[in-house]
């Protein structure tokens, strides 16, 4: 059986005091029966690394540059993230695709940059409500994933994939377990055609996952964990989802 992964995406939330409380609350609830990570805003990576160093909890960032280094004001390279002990970096989150016009090709380059520095990219794919209603879900997620598979080549098996239907993010509208499983199965089939490691790869669901819907989502055969937004900001809720996964 695949080990599950629950990753918190704090987005642009937090401050020194609330972060310390949140991390202490999660750490105090160990051990978990699944992999657990928090993806924090860049300025808080250093303190997160210190707070979690003695634990088996993992941390990461929410984006990275596709470039190695250079005159790219405001960007943060994968090499820099590696220096802070990051294990993961989210790439292609729909908020980056939407608000920063990130293309499939750019997301693929970011995933490649992450892997080349030993980070595991958590590659997000997902359709908008209009795309779902137009019957384009399969085509959209396949196109998004295909760009990354192509860029990573024989290393494609090393990424984590996250299916995040855009209409379920921060809306309280969650995909039904059947809707999510259907897309996860499609993604697994696509991965199988690309890498011999597809059966071991973690495919996370993200979009209004909460303690009260986590069990039904996580019991689906191809849902291997969660990428958690709002509920990752409260230790009790995040811990409850980790318990549901493990």
Instruction: Tell me if 207 contacts ligand 13P by CB under 6 A.
Output: yes
Instruction: Tell me if 91 contacts ligand 13P by CB under 6 A.
Output: no
Stretch that binds ligand 13P, among 98-106, 111-119, 164-172, 184-192 (CB under 6 A): 164-172
Instruction: Tell me if 9 contacts ligand 13P by CB under 6 A.
Output: yes
Q: 88 pairs with which residues across the strands?
A: 60, 120
Of the two residues 5 and 231, which places its CB atom closer to ligand 13P in the complex?
A: 231
Of the two residues 14 and 206, which places its CB atom closer to ligand 13P in the complex?
A: 206
Q: What is the Cα–Cα distance from 117 to 16, expressed in whole angstroms?
A: 28
- Residue 21, judged by CB atoms within 10 A of its CB (0-12, 13-18, 19+), counts as exposed
Among 206, 213, 224, 238, binds ligand 13P (CB under 6 A): 206
Please report which helix (H) or strand (E) contains residue 204, including its range.
strand 203-206
Phi-psi label, residue 43: left if phi above 0, alpha if psi -120 to 50, beta otherwise: alpha
Among 107, 230, 240, 242, binds ligand 13P (CB under 6 A): 230
Of the two residues 14 and 229, which places its CB atom closer to ligand 13P in the complex?
A: 229
Which of 95, 127, 164, 184 does the annotation list as catalytic? 164
Instruction: Tell me if 170 contacts ligand 13P by CB under 6 A.
Output: yes
Distance from the first to the final alpha carbon of the chain: 12
Q: What is the Cα–Cα distance from 70 to 76, expressed in whole angstroms?
A: 10
- The residue assigned the tokens 């199965």 is 185
Among 34, 125, 152, 228, binds ligand 13P (CB under 6 A): 228
Stretch that binds ligand 13P, among 112-120, 138-146, 149-157, 206-214 (CB under 6 A): 206-214
Spatial contact of 230 and 127, defined as CB atoms under 8 Å apart? no
Question: CB nearest ligand 13P: which residue?
Answer: 229
Stretch that binds ligand 13P, among 49-57, 113-121, 128-136, 205-213 (CB under 6 A): 205-213
Q: 151 pairs with which residues across the strands?
A: none
- Residue 93 is a catalytic residue: yes
The two tokens of residue 220 are: 């689906």
Instruction: Tell me if 14 contacts ligand 13P by CB under 6 A.
Output: no
Among 131, 202, 208, 213, binds ligand 13P (CB under 6 A): 208
Looking at residue 6, the DSSP 8-state letter turns out to be: E
- Residue 16 is a catalytic residue: no
Q: What is the Cα–Cα distance from 70 to 90, expressed in whole angstroms?
A: 21
Looking at residue 38, the DSSP 8-state letter turns out to be: E
Instruction: Tell me if 202 contacts ligand 13P by CB under 6 A.
Output: no
Name the residues that contact ligand 13P, by CB under 6 A.
9, 93, 164, 169-170, 206-209, 227-231
């Amino acid at each position: 059986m695949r080990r599950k992964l629950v990753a918190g995406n704090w987005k642009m939330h937090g401050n020194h005091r609330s972060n310390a409380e949140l991390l202490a609350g999660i750490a105090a609830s160990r051990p978990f029966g699944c992999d657990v990570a928090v993806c924090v805003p860049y300025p808080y990576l250093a303190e997160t690394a210190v707070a979690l160093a003695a634990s088996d909890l993992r941390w990461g960032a929410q984006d990275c540059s596709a470039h190695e280094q250079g005159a790219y004001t405001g960007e943060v390279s994968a090499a820099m993230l590696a220096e802070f002990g990051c294990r993961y970096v989210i790439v292609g989150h729909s908020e980056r695709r939407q608000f920063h016009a990130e293309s499939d090709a750019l997301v693929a380059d970011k995933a490649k940059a992450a892997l080349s520095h030993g980070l595991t990219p958590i590659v997000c794919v997902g359709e908008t409500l209009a795309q779902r209603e137009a019957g384009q879900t399969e085509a959209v997620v396949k196109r998004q994933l295909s760009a990354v598979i192509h860029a990573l080549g024989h290393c494609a098996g090393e990424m984590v994939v996250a299916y995040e239907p855009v209409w379920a993010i921060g809306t309280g509208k969650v995909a039904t377990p059947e809707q999510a499983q259907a897309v996860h199965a499609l993604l697994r089939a696509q991965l199988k055609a690309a890498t011999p490691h597809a059966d071991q790869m973690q495919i996370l669901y993200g979009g209004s996952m909460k303690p009260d819907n986590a069990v039904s989502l996580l019991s689906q055969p191809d849902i291997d964990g969660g990428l958690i937004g709002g509920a990752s900001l409260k230790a009790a809720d995040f811990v409850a989802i980790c318990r549901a996964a493990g």
